[in-house]
Structure 1
């Protein structure tokens, strides 16, 4: 049938070209509306009550598991409503050096989780172990740091292997440290300047209820080392230990001024942050909403980009 208007019929080729153009335009529109990356929680612990599949370490029993369960699904109920879509898992102490539960969670949710493992730094083949864990989504190693242990690390060949290995593999040494360990940590940072270091929970300054100026001075000395970072985290455990945690503002401000926001990262330390009247929402709100000295750029670094740079790859 011919057109009475005298206009030529569109060819199949033209129709296909037109359809492709419309699809491309729609695709560009979707790209423009693509959701902005969410926040990163740089410090969370998970565990399961299934101790048959995931046995506890020899120094622990079920009485250590408080709460009895904190699985990824239980975590997501807190994190997702606050716009957190990526999380750094910290190997839980009562699994000791058996990282299997954490690694299985990373494998199940590869777009959501990365890990910080615990390994025996004195075991043979440490560097090979670190390389293997890197391939499984582990971007750091937790060490428990008090004054006695860190003093012995400065001249330890085994610790030197681990710190140099972390620099080689691009992984971080993550220190759960007491304030009295900071002078020795300074020596370690000086000895291994190429190693990325993360100080957890403000080095627990303020756990006594009082933020000691001398401790904060020692923490700020680490700003001399460009690859050293600090987690602004575990608000439930520091200072007044009550929401909205505004008493921690001066310490956060000094660290921002000393290290720069690009070397600070927020973290909740769940599940402990959601107990005893504390909430996940209150933790992230301190950085996101409550501190007027933090710029939008500061918040972007502290809530996402620093953790992305250091612990996400």
Structure 2
């Protein structure tokens, strides 16, 4: 099987050609380098032949390094871009980026109260354009942002929505049942998918990550394998852990998954959601 990693960042120490955004310095880049070549050195031995690249915060709204990578390797990569979600006409920028291999846009509460983070006009326009062009709204959120997302999904039911990293449940080491239920309740929206990812950062944060199994089982029961996708969140997965340890949780550790389930989670869901014309 050729896998798809649904979430990896890349950046380059070449800040002359790819300058950092205001407020960032080279010291913020940890690790100091994770170029596309370094990603390829991780992914290829693990059987991963395609990756969804996520714009890195170091670059702000300048998506050029990601876009240049997609142009160089169009068969390997698509992108999730970051634009100004408070802009007056974000759909203009979205349309341009779609032509350059972008199939999603990362959104997050930013400077808004979490209970109203999706109320601004720019984000509403992004959701509307996402429905029109089948562009994913990729949410980097905690569970306290789900009520607002639930409301917006009801208003824009045709907009594809992706929730990153199991909604970051367990980043403090505790997996709370109420938070898992809140994530599972979002399965009522048929265009919502979830990234089963960033295992290094959740729960006990220790391979083989089997403590995450009960949460993943609940999310699997709610969404089904066709709406779950595996991802590493590289390079952070490979700072202290390995790429293969992330894959092996899905491949070998979760006995409730069938071979067909694994194919969906490791490839087919991301292929349907992100890799399409």
TM-score, length basis structure 1:
0.86
- Residues 1:131 and 2:131 aligned together: no
User: Does structure 1 residue 174 correspond to structure 2 residue 138?
Assistant: yes
Kindly provide the CA deviation profile for residues 88-134 of structure 1, in whole angstroms up to 9, marking residues without a partner as x: 00000110100000000000000000000000122243212111111
Structure-2 separation of matches of 1:155 and 1:70: 35
Larger Rg: 1
For the residue of structure 1 that corresponds to 2:194, the secondary structure is: strand
Deviation at 1:146, TM superposition (A): 7.2
Q: Does the alignment pair 1:216 with 2:180?
A: yes
**Which residue does 1:15 correspond to in 2?**
none
Q: Which residue of 1 aligns with 2:34?
A: 70
Q: In structure 2, do the counterparts of structure 1 residues 84 and 149 end up closer, same or farther at CA, with 3 Å as the change threshold?
A: farther
What is the aligned-residue RMSD (CA, Å)? 1.3
Give per-residue Cα distances to partners, 1:30-63, cap 9 Å, x unaligned.
Answer: xxxxxx6x11000000000000100000021111
Which among 230, 235, 247 is matched to residue 271 of structure 1? 235
Q: How does the TM-score come out when normalised to structure 2?
A: 0.97
Q: 1:283: which partner in 2? A: 246
Trace 1:149-188 onto structure 2 (pairs within 5 A): 149-188=113-152
| SS state at 1:139 partner | strand
Taking the aligned partners of 2:144 and 2:111, their CA distance within structure 1 comes to 5
Contact kept? 1:146, 1:178, Cα under 8 Å: no
Distance 1:299 1:284 in 2: 10
Residue 151 of structure 1, CA deviation: 2.7
Inter-partner Cα distance in structure 1 for 2:118 and 2:32: 38
Higher relative contact order (CA 8 A, sep 6+): 2
The runs of 5 or more residues in structure 2 that have no matched partner are: none
Residues 262-289 of structure 1, C-alpha deviations (whole Å, 9 max, x = no match):
000000000000012x110000110011
Provide the C-alpha distance between the structure 2 equivalents of 1:186 and 1:307, rounded to a whole number of angstroms: 22
Q: Is the 2:88–2:122 Cα contact (8 Å) retained in structure 1?
A: no
Pairs within 5 Å for 1:1-313: 38-145=2-109, 148-276=112-240, 278-313=241-276
Whether the 8 Å CA contact 1:147–1:180 is kept in 2: the answer is: no
**Following TM superposition, by how much is the alpha carbon of 1:152 offset from its aligned partner in structure 2, in angstroms?**
2.6
